[in-house]
Amino acid sequence: MESHDNLKQLRQLNEEIHRIFLHELVPPDDWYEERADTLHLYAELDWIPYATRFYGKNDELHQLAVQIHTDLFYVLEEWSTSPHFSLVPYRRIIENIQTFWDTYSRLYVGDERDEEVIDLIEQMTHM
């Protein structure tokens, strides 16, 4: 997946986890390791400043950022003690990051007044 741009990669991760749930698949051990690496990259985006930034301005983006942060913490903590992690919060992370991006893009792209979110876009572009 390294050769794909980040938004395309995010969409692929979203489709992949939906297929896993749809077909009740059990991913191999190396899948968990690769996805944990991806989650570490998403965690580096530091979602708390985004939650703070949107508090009282956009409840949907605020709640998404809080949930992403909480789920990332949970899954990465679980990963640190086990060769696997729970797929339900992983799925929610991927879906919520996609929703956060789609919502932000729809509402704010082209109206680049929010410097912290512009930083998020730049970070996702260079992940």
The pLDDT-based confidence of 116 (bands split at 50, 70, 90) is low
pTM higher than the cut 0.85: no
Residue 3 is predicted with a pLDDT of: 38
Render pLDDT for 69-114 as a digit per residue (tens, 0 to 9): 999 999 999 999 999 999 999 999 999 999 999 998 888 776 555 5
Render pLDDT for 17-37 as a digit per residue (tens, 0 to 9): 999 999 999 999 999 999 999
CA–CA distance, 14 with 42 (Å, rounded to integer): 14
- 115-120 long-range contacts, CB within 8 A, separation 24+: 116/49, 116/50, 116/53, 117/50, 117/53, 120/45, 120/50
Q: Which two tokens stand for residue 17?
A: 């986890």
> How far is C-alpha 35 from the geometric centre of its chain's CA atoms?
11
Residue 127 is predicted with a pLDDT of: 57
